[in-house]
Chain A
Amino acid sequence: MTAAADPLCEKLREAFPSAILEQSSFRGETTLRIKTESIRDICLHARDTLGFDYLVDVSSIDHFGDEPRYELVYELYSLRAGAHLRLKATVSEDTGTAPTVSDIWPTADWHEREVYDMMGIRFENHPDLRRILMWEGFPYHPLRKDFPLEGKHSETPGVAFSEPAPLAGGPFVTVPTDGTTQVREPRARHAGEIPPSDKFIAEP
């Protein structure tokens, strides 16, 4: 994977020397941090010149308490070269907007709608920026860190409502361990009750 993506990354850095802020590699996956205003230029170049013809996913991260608060993650893949590339761009809480790539890869249409629905990041010039998982009129963005897991009360008269779910001391969490099912099983746990786990992720 690394071998396939590296020469393409090199070309991308040559084409955009100032817009690419940082390159990192983790377990054979290459990540580029890019400037938010250059998303469209870099994506167009990646698709047309470098052959990244497949946008695997668009997702978002909430770094609650930090500034800029949000981070967009684009997973690109070149079917011909078998190369995978990850692009990351930050979005500040004040603007909360990012340029759309739905005209570059049509699949981004629904991915961006999901990001908008769950995180509240608006995409400029998106053709159809409606909610996709929650109903139209739901007032919150549930994947934000300041939104509780159990949800909040909301009411759209005549359309829908939502109530907080009873968590009963939860949330229910499982533990990463190779212990028995009784140890692992999802239940309400507090921080101290989670057994230590050395064997969580085996190094490759």
Chain B
Amino acid sequence: MASTLSPVAYDAKIEGNVIFTQVDAAINWMRSHSLWPMPMGLACCAIELMAASSSRFDISRFGAEVMRFSPRQADVMIVAGTVTYKMALAVKRIWDQMPEPKWCIAMGACASSGGMYRSYAVLQGIDHLIPVDVYVSGCPPRPEALLDGLMRLQKKIMGEHSLLEQKKELLETL
């Protein structure tokens, strides 16, 4: 039995596996538990990202183990590492190729703010270029920190009005 705050309800009086819910809640639940990451591994953070997806930390416990190297099959871009201006062009291009809905995790100090690279060559945070949902601190962050960031993203997705967003254009024309 779900709690009173949950959008999901189970009624024992109705026989069989029937669950009452809202479409938003169902869509969000499905989205948040099958986040396919686009691993944008650019520096040492990528090593921790690999560790997060390996057996000890096992990102698949959160449904995000399907690392897709094709942006067209990815939901969340994990920017792991230093974004130089030259690489920023490629990151932006890949981000534009990802289908909606899409999210972004800035993993580590460099992707979040440029980190220790206060230099002409480094973009001072990937949020100058693409919208970031979750920033993960650390240099590099431990895999647990990335998993925490992923869980926060899941929480954020659970609060979205996904149906409304999806039908936005239709509603606007009505």
A172 touches B120 (CB 8 A): no
A170, B118: Cβ atoms under 8 Å?
Answer: yes
Q: Mark A136-166, 1 if CB is under 8 A from B, else 0.
A: 0010101000011111100000011011111
Contact: B119 with A134, CB < 8 Å? no
Complex contact A165–B118 (CB within 8 A): yes
- Is A168 in contact with chain B by the CB < 8 A criterion? yes
Task: State which of B11-19, B27-35, B65-73, B85-93 sits at the interface with chain A.
Answer: B85-93
Type the 1/0 row for A110-150, where 1 means its CB is closer than 8 Å to any CB of B: 00000000000000000000000111001010100001111
- With a cutoff of 8 Å between Cβ atoms, the chain B residues found around residue A160 in the complex are 85, 88-89
Q: Is the CB of B120 within 8 A of A149?
A: yes
For residue A195, CB closer than 8 A to chain B, the reply is no
With the chains together, A163 CA to B114 CA distance in Å? Answer: 12
Interface size on A, residues (CB 8 A): 25
Q: Is B116 on the interface with A (CB-CB < 8 A)?
A: yes
Minimal beta-carbon separation of A47 from chain B (angstroms): 32
A186 touches B120 (CB 8 A): no
B88 nearest CB neighbor, chain A only: A160
Chain A contacts for B116, CB-based, 8 A:
172, 186
Residues of A within 8 A of B119 (CB): 149-151, 165
Nearest residue (CB) in A for B120 is: A151
Let me know if B124 is at the binding interface, CB within 8 A: yes
A162 to B118: give the CA distance in the assembly, Å. 13
Q: Is the beta-carbon distance between A142 and B121 smaller than 8 angstroms?
A: yes
Is the contact region of chain B dominated by helix, strand, or loop, or is it mixed?
loop
Interface size of B by Cβ–Cβ distance < 8 Å? 14
In the complex, B122 has a CB within 8 A of chain A: yes
Q: Are A133 and B86 in contact (CB under 8 A)?
A: yes
The complex places the Cα of A16 from the Cα of B60 at a distance, in Å, of: 68
Q: Which B residues from 100 to 122 make CB contacts under 8 A with A?
A: 114, 116-122
Task: Find chain B residues with CB under 8 A from A172 CB.
Answer: 116, 118
Given contacts A134-B85, A135-B89, A160-B89, contact A166 B121 (CB under 8 A): no
Is A201 part of the binding interface, using a Cβ–Cβ cutoff of 8 Å?
no
Cβ contacts under 8 Å, B85 to chain A: 134-135, 138, 160, 162
Judge whether A142 and B120 touch: CB under 8 Å.
yes
Alpha-carbon distance A172/B115, docked complex (angstroms)? 12
Using a CB-CB cutoff of 8 Å, which residues 104-161 of chain B contact chain A? 114, 116-122, 124, 128
Interface check A28, CB cutoff 8 A: no
B121 to chain A, nearest CB (A): 7
Q: What residues of chain A lie closer than 8 Å to B117, measured between beta carbons?
A: 165
Q: Return A105 CB to nearest CB of chain B, in Å.
A: 25
Given A148-B120, A167-B118, 17 additional A-B pairs, CB 8 A: A133-B86, A133-B121, A134-B86, A134-B121, A135-B85, A147-B120, A149-B118, A149-B119, A150-B118, A150-B119, A160-B85, A160-B88, A163-B124, A165-B114, A166-B124, A172-B116, A186-B116
B binding-site residues for A, Cβ under 8 Å: 85-86, 88-89, 114, 116-122, 124, 128
The 6 closest A-B pairs by CB, nearest first: A151-B120, A165-B118, A142-B120, A167-B118, A135-B86, A165-B124
| 29 residue pairs from A and B, CB less than 8 Å apart | A134-B85, A134-B121, A135-B85, A138-B85, A142-B120, A148-B120, A149-B118, A149-B120, A150-B118, A150-B120, A151-B119, A160-B85, A160-B88, A160-B89, A162-B85, A162-B120, A163-B124, A163-B128, A165-B118, A165-B119, A165-B122, A165-B124, A166-B124, A167-B118, A170-B118, A171-B118, A172-B116, A172-B118, A186-B116
